[in-house]
Structure 1
């Protein structure tokens, strides 16, 4: 009897917690389908009386397909470059013995404690001097270079790999690059999925860096285009249109999470070794 009550209380707590966490999301989706008059009524209603699908068409006029494409280039470019840099570096730190490993690890950890706002101005000056303003290079490369967390994440995973696998491959004549490609990477799918989903979400949600480096329409990303839809007291844009734009911006991130969900859960719950 005590076990039944304990399980019931646990599930009730989970349902209540899930509802509280999902309430802002439900309000956003519901508000995106309300009219300009209905969304400003008090007390607010959870569901719209009549769905107004025109809000999504109006939001799309602000976002456009070009902005969505720029956002994908920006986010995927950051994730891809960080993987190219961090995977070999992490594997070398974890499995290839050489001097000064501790110094290199310290040099990766220390910058993680420096607030990003302190490095924003120097980073902008360097980008300006390189002539990368209003370009995808200026958008992607400075952000992709900040991959200390990715190196430490993958390094911690590679350390947990059985040493016998690496030694057997080396005895058979495999190079370090072949060991990384044929052995380490296939086993690191949970860690890769975890990093890709988190890094993609972080890049997709960036606003300050794209706003100051590439605000021109040709390189505008979704959060920069979405900002005017936030509206205000003097705005002529309905809050419903802004919420519809937020729903459109949320869909790609939701798809990425659903695709990587299986491996993401494995990467969080365990070591990733099957």
Structure 2
């Protein structure tokens, strides 16, 4: 007699039978703390934007009418006269008629000077600081850590302390009222830029550089063909920060670049502080000139601000 034993059917694991369920997006629940955070952020944003709006409102007003209604939230006697004075489109008589000082600036010459100074300074700092950061991060040489510590210590020295030595040096070299005199003190390198790039270069894989050494690449070739392409993100960030800082610089260009041929835009804005028929500064012209001078940098940061913040955060973590 043959006994047939039915083997139990092999069942697939229960987990395999279940189809993966799509994840549902959970909407954040409304809480009092979240609402207070949004209110606080909105208040901070409003406080930040109010000065820019007030500059815009003042620039579209006439200087004669600003004193009659100083608390108005809207432009008083709306006009484009201040912008015409800044761009050199108004005559002194027209400027005086609107309560301006009658002064005007050679806007395009000063804009050219600012572009030259900011561009040359940015190129020089990016090139020399990246080379110094590479030497501190990737090369082995005696006294490297000691020299780097000295650079870091320089971060704690206020820039105003080096103003007089720099001025004496520029004067002795005969570079007053020249582009070179304005650019040279910040052309080569700054401690922050070296520290910023060094932090990123430390995170680049050693294997990549060792492969280049096996291929026979020297130090300069490794720097330009390996390190710079891999470090393009922080280098672009440094270029943006340097350009903004150089564009907004006022004290040093005012000190060594008084001649009109090399005067930058930020220094040229001071002409609108001269006396008006009302006995005060040309506030409308000053605000219009300030907005025009800040517009290129503002647009640059709107489009590239996230990249700057991400690169700074990454370097800080590394």
Q: TM-score, normalised by structure 2?
A: 0.78
Give the CA deviation at 1:47.
2.3
Structure-1 separation of matches of 2:129 and 2:189:
10
Unaligned 5+ segments in structure 2 are 1-26, 89-104
Structure-1 separation of matches of 2:282 and 2:44:
31
Structural RMSD (CA): 2.5
Structure 2 equivalent of residue 168 of structure 1: 211
Q: What does 1:75-224 correspond to in 2, within 5 Å?
A: 75-224=118-267
Unaligned 5+ segments in structure 1 are none
Structure-2 separation of matches of 1:254 and 1:65:
19
Give the CA deviation at 1:100.
0.8
The answer on whether the counterparts of 1:139 and 1:209 sit within 8 Å (CA) in structure 2 is yes
Moved over 6 A (4+): none
Structure-2 separation of matches of 1:95 and 1:40:
62
The 3-state SS of whatever aligns with 2:79 is: coil
Q: Is 1:56 aligned to residue 83 of structure 2?
A: yes
More contact order relative to length (CA 8 Å, sep ≥ 6): 1
Give the CA deviation at 1:147.
1.6
The answer on whether the counterparts of 2:237 and 2:311 sit within 8 Å (CA) in structure 1 is yes
Pair 1:8–1:179, CA change in 2 (3 A) = farther
1:263 equivalent among 307, 310, 314: 307
Pair 1:51–1:178, CA change in 2 (3 A) = farther
Task: Name the structure with the higher helix share.
Answer: 1
Q: Which one has a bigger Cα radius of gyration?
A: 2
Q: What does 1:21-60 correspond to in 2, within 5 Å?
A: 21-42=48-69, 44-48=71-75, 50-60=77-87
Structure-1 separation of matches of 2:78 and 2:46:
23
Structure 2 equivalent of residue 4 of structure 1: 30
Structure-1 separation of matches of 2:253 and 2:270:
12
Structure-1 separation of matches of 2:158 and 2:108:
34
Q: Is 1:252 aligned to residue 296 of structure 2?
A: yes
Give the CA deviation at 1:71.
0.6
Give the CA deviation at 1:259.
4.4
Q: TM-score, normalised by structure 1?
A: 0.90
The 3-state SS of whatever aligns with 2:155 is: helix
Structure-2 separation of matches of 1:244 and 1:92:
45
Structure-1 separation of matches of 2:197 and 2:279:
46
Give the CA deviation at 1:49.
5.1
